[in-house]
Amino acid sequence: GSSLSWVKKNLGIKEGLEKDLENHRAFTFNSAKLASLGEMAAGIAHEINNPLTIISGSAFKLKRRFKKK
């Protein structure tokens, strides 16, 4: 009797730990995906911002040139 209840109790603990481990792995995987997405978004923003800065600078120069005339 007591041996069987000990085995059942430990199996329950093992199953709970396995479930916790599975949840932790899923959380870690999702965190990694979000981190990658953030890095990708930062890269895209940087690539968009560079040409916009050049366009803005050129537009400012043209505006200044035409105001002088």
pLDDT in tens, the chain (69 residues): 688 898 889 999 999 999 999 999 999 999 999 999 999 999 999 999 999 999 999 999 999 989 876
Q: For residues 27 and 19, what is the distance between their CA atoms, to the nearest angstrom?
A: 12
Q: For residues 62 and 48, what is the distance between their CA atoms, to the nearest angstrom?
A: 22
Q: For residues 27 and 38, what is the distance between their CA atoms, to the nearest angstrom?
A: 16
C-alpha closest to that of 61 among 46, 45, 53, 22: 53
Task: Tell me if the pTM is above 0.75.
Answer: no
